[in-house]
Structure 1
Amino acid sequence: MKHLSDFPLRLLIGLYLFEAVSSQVNPGVCRYALGMSGGQITDEDISASSQWSESTAARYGRLDCEEGDGAWCPEITVEPDHLKEFLQVDLRSLYFITLVGTQGRHAGGMGNEFAQMYKIKYSRDGSRWISWRNRQGKQVIEGNRNTYDIALRDLQPPIIARLVRFMPVIDHSMNVCMRVELYGCEWLDGLVSYNSPVGQQMSLPAYPVYLNDSVYDGAIIHSMTEGLGLLTDGVCGEDDFTLSHVHIGWPGYDYVGWNNNSFPDGFVEIMFEFDRTRNFTSMKVHCNNMYSQHVKAFRQVVCYFRSDLDWEATPLSFSPVKDEKNPSARFVTVNLANHMASAIKCQFYFADAWMLFSEITFQSDTAMYNTTLVTPKAVIPLNPQPGVSPRPSPEDDPTHKVDDSNTRILIGCLVAIIFILVAIIVIILWRQVWQKMMEKASRRMLDDELTASLSIQSETFVYNNNQSSTTNEQESSSAYEHIFPLGPDYQEPSRLILKLPEFAQSLEEPASTSTAASQSQDGAPHYAEADIVNLQGVTGSNTYAIPAVTMDLLSGKDVAVEEFPRKLLIFKEKLGEGQFGEVHLCEAEGMQEFMDEDYLFDVPEDQPVLVAVKMLRSDANKNARNDFLKEIKIMSRLKDPNIIRLLAVCIYSDPLCMITEYMENGDLNQFLSHHEPEGQLALFSKAPTVSFSNLCYMATQMASGMKYLSSLKFVHRDLATRNCLVGKNYTIKIADFGMSRNLYSGDYYRIQGRAVLPIRWMSWESILLGKFTTASDVWAFGVTLWEVLNFCKEQPYSQLTDEQVIENTGEFFRDQKRQIYLPQPVLCPDSLYQIMLSCWRRNAKERPSFQEIHKALLDLQP
């Protein structure tokens, strides 16, 4: 029953896949707004050649929006044949674009500028730009006739691009302004070009049949190179290729074909280049099989794979079943056996005089991952009359053409889903209001009894009357206690997973004496809010989980840091806040005098030092104050080049403060997200770059810091790029206050609006069993390494909802090979991806130690 709420959506997806098995993309369905009007495309990804003024900058060129002065307007008057002015949209990844929309500058009736015509240029890599042409070879697209109507234009053929430029064109001098939108869907194939021989002409008694690739956007001389065309336009050819294509009028238009006599070796070789190294499962080739005209599907295909620079020596061979009875065109599926490759070279052998292809698509793990998870915002149906500007009325607006029965079914299902969602929202809101009222009453009664103990019992240290035992990895406690009396509807992640019957049945082992308190009647350990508050930390940050023996040793020692004068702290910025405290960025004057001799600042003595100040609120209760002092004791013992150090404290008066290092380049997540990898794209965007060797250097430092923590039996529990700070020369120090920052609130799963868990970084056993160990830190390190190699441009499992992330942990528990792993980043070599995969092994004991990870990363250093 747990999937009942999304059953209609799954049914619709299933129906669509059933009807669209003929192609990887369907231009008639792939028409979703990509985010100019909805805001999914950020201001930073919209640029222009020039602008009138700040109020007509590129970011105001969003369709159906009137912010700023109402539109994007170039600085100078557009002259005839003057194509230097453009509005550019960066989609950040490859998209299959089927439709574009434009508007003029309305500005509440004050505007009088629009583009009557325009051209489009696009690029897949930022270096090579291609002028779009329609199927007749025409470049100019009809634009707007007034300043307010939206003009939707089908792109036939569609384009596959990351960067798109709109370029106004007029036949006389005038001022123009534009607002634009792009429609399409994600390009799942990842194919950026195919190289093949030029298609040929077949001479039939009645007329010639042209089998050339007429829309290929690469170079065409003796062969076709560095482009895409008919084989990737989403349109499959007719069974009878001699019929004229409905859009063009000449026979054989949708096919690319070759004659056996022109190829002495008996095969046609096509090479496919992809955007990244992918794990390929299959290739689908749409072939004509009209054997009465001596046309048949290929007899055999031999494919070679290239993952880095060299081609694999052993090719893959496949022979389809011969069919001389059915003349219908068909897709032939070639099993690619999970080969990892960034390029594939296939030799298709003739079975007869002619061989004709109309579509070739690829399925890879990355493509399957995105297919099931992308949720489009809105879809624009096909315009039955391309070139006609739609009006916002039932007669002309393409969004009102719902003659198709499937569209009516879709609308009915969507209406049903909306009613169900409204009912669910009402129920959730009512329950939250009721629970908040109960909690306020509970808090007033129990405020003096709040307890939040450090996780000190674990499977690593099990205490009996006369003995203790240790293991190789340190676990923090799953013996939780509730702070507030919570009702039966309180939902923890483990309670969500108990909907999986396999998981509930597996937890039947007898609990030990030390963990019995953590077991509920159904036998499963639960998250209690006490432990989550502990995990969250007094100031909203993580506190390290440490073994009981270590805590006993710390409790008998004084704090090894000095009191710092508050008056020497200059507050610069509030970084974040938690349940009982705040984190501020400050400058500390004269901090050098308070430091140990073994610690040196790279700052002159007469200049202030940048520090982070964790401050406990003055109204915090007694237990929060005790936990804050415990955190100071823990932090005072951490001395490692790659761990943020506690510099000083202010504990003689309220509010209590601890002063830690802060690095001038901020946290690693923000640092990398504002940089690009070295290469042509970075030169084009003029963004600062970070080399691959520097990425490896930073990852090695993170591993070194975690190796130090694990040697002390400390468990971090929230390792991520947001919790790593960057200094000069790519110095990395691991911190712990990322959870307190509103900037990263979306990285945490919220339980009943209070408790938060970084589930996208957590191991399956941490989510399901409440186990936080060094091995679970290793899992989080693998996710953090994935972030680094993606330049923090994407959240882990960004296509999954929080609930789907938790469901995926159930797949790890069942271990039936259906779990989803994070895909290999573009910049990531196989050796580095293998390190990530080893961090995500199901069995915690099989994961590498931080010592092993650190050594492996050192070996990868150039």
Structure 2
Amino acid sequence: MHLFLLLILQATAAVGQVDPAHCRYALGMEDGRIKDDDITASSHWYETTGPQYARLNREEGDGAWCPEGQLEPSDSQYLQVDLGRLTFLTVVGTQGRYARNSGNEFARAYRLNYSRDGLLWKSWRNRLGNAVMEGNKNAYASVINDLHPPIITRYIRLIPVTRVSTTVCMRVELYGCPWEDGLISYSSPEGQPMNPPGYPIASFNDSTYDGAHERRRLFGGMGQLTDGVIGLDDFLQTRQYHVWPGYDYLGWRNDSLGTQGYVEMEFVFDRRRNFTSMKVHSNNMFSRGVKIFSSVSCWFKPRLIAGWEVESVAFKTVLDDRNPSARYVTVPLNRRTAKSIRCRFYFADIWMMFSEISFQSEDTVLPTPMTLGSTSPPITEESTMLTTPKTANPSTSEPPDDGNTPILIGCLVTIILLLVIIIFLILWCQYVCKVLEKAPRRILDEEVTVRLSSCSDTIILQTPPVPPRSGHAPTGLANTDPHYERVFLLDPQYQNPAVLRNKLPELSQSAEASALLLGNPLYDLLLLTSCHMTSGWLRACGGGYAEPDVTQCTPHQCFHSNAPHYAETDIVRLQGVTGSNMYAVPALTVDSLTRKDISAAEFPRQHLIFREKLGEGQFGEVHLCEAEGLPEFLGEGSPLPDRDGRSVLVAVKQLRADATSQARNDFLKEIKIMSRLNDPNIIRLLCVCVSSDPLCMVTEYMENGDLNMFLSQREIESTLTHANNIPSVSLSDLLHMSVQISSGMKYLASLNFVHRDLATRNCLLDRRLTIKIADFGMSRNLYSSDYYRIQGRAVLPIRWMAWESILLGKFTTASDVWAFGVTLWEIFTLCKEQPYSLLSDEQVIENTGEFFRNQGRQIFLYGPPLCPPSLFELMMRCWSRDLADRPTFEGLYQALRPHVNQ
């Protein structure tokens, strides 16, 4: 019985830390999940401009919420939304009052106030301390503002701001996700500054803390420890722009806290919870005196007015003096029940630094024995109801009441039956999956079959129906849960995502059922276009990966071939053993590769000094290192600049010791591929360390990092940027970058090499704006949102991939040309936006189906404002549906080169 109860309780464990990059779901203003009663305002002009009409993209009433009278600069009119529960709020979208072209009122700016309990209100400010956000410029276009930092709140107020007396109206949508931790405040000592020799001064204060600061302590609020931003391995580097070194961490120096040798923190939650664990993201750069905590002790308080329980939970960490990477440390809390937790983190070195703390708990509150300290109040009948059963004096006790025993037995029997049914369903699912692997499946009324991917790749989707928007009938593709509809928000030139979705054809009922069974968006697309996208059909109707001709093949021919679809062949090898993408070089075989085939020189591995982990894959990692004496080692003709004997930065791909023999062989193949590359605009293999394990390859790296990061931190050159000393680039610079990338890709194409992941994140830049095309952007967590993960397979850069690469697994130089067009688009938007930012990953895949069908309904990227019309026309040619219509890299280079000299 206890085992069954334990299984039930374990199934309710809450999910861990929120990821701000993915926590961008509409919370229900537009679709009505937020009810009218939950939307209030300080005033409204008419009943038809009341707060209930402040819904984005809706036109009910007079089209928006409008506060009463003319808004003055000193006014504080507000629209208030009750989200119903604690929410991690990341994005706010606003519109003005359009009212079917009869209104023209909007808020040019606004502020945000928020509250977690409805009583104490706080003012939101961005990471630079600004409280006012840019609003709308007209009455119809929506303006999206990302909240940096995000807000943890239940109540939110939007307060329009104006400089002159005017009428304002607003429509609103809020985006985020539920805050499952339940944490409503934490208290700790203030962070402290560090002045390391040879490095800039770093400040480790909690700069976004929204509570009180008194006597060098923080209490009553939350800040950087709950903003979802994980600190980097090097605590002096940050994930944010225009901030000071050390910004991502809250840190303390041991000797500044007296002789106690620990940091004490207190955490308060929204209600009593059964805590299973605490996750603390801690820095471990021991070479600079920073280590994870040596041990931690936690005490628990069941109610805020009670005393701390005497019995604590202690946990001793395993210190690591070999790997300086920052990491999560998971502290088990043994299912202790509490509403408040106090923890003491003990120093292991001079400094201790945290960037995130999260808690995992179970919904069901279990009774736990409590030994209260002397400060606790007497235990009352009410406080014992959830802890221990009441007992009376034995001499006056009544016989126990067994009236509930049959009910209890019935409940236990029901639970046992449910578990038996679940186990039976799991075994049946496994059996069905095995059958599906061995035999074709009948999908349509005709005898049409297709080989499915393996059981490990299937996901069962359970999305409850959503009420349709007003005025829109639900469709097969639109009938998804808004809670799980990823929002990519930016350019207003895109149409409404729901409208885009409605432009795509509906699934048939049978196809939709099969798609839900499989749960794989790529297979959804395969069903959506019947048999037109499978390699089995292609081989039956012409063989290989030839261009499909739907007029020369029947559905019966389509699936009778047992050739696997692309996910089981070419595309699975897109990601190499270290997480970087693998160049496609069909002429190279793996079987005969040995260390004797490696022409690169052996470099002494002791001269490689670790600086930062750039990324990782299944069997290896990519590190940023300093290589001492490398220019002298390479000798005359070295591609490295003269550093006067100083060490240079290099990227080191390292194979893990637990790598399989196939992974080792793939790694050697990658070395052989890299050794053949010799071009000024391609990253070079410099040397290797393969005489002993772990195997390493050393490639070039540039101090200015990748092009995506470089451009996103700059504006286009103007008199304003010169006057304010803002980092900028000129149009000539952008064209020069484009020419260099086309030159490097022209070289790869001449060798019949296919890159397969061309993007600005894979282009490195030196101080002279020289670009070198690299291959390890796929492994970096910084760009994880640029990739779509197929469970159990690989990650795919679908927003850069040609339609034939997504649907057919066909990677060629022509598909690299498609990616080059998207890379050009990135460059001329200064990397401020993700391609197809208003489409979810699944909608991007659906859009590729429109490219395949070629019925004029496909959605293209818009023309960037900085882009000359002739250059945008070149981009559009790169995205031609037919491979033969796309330009070659030689042609692209010749077309772009004259623009540089203009």
- TM-score for both structures, normalised by structure 1: 0.47
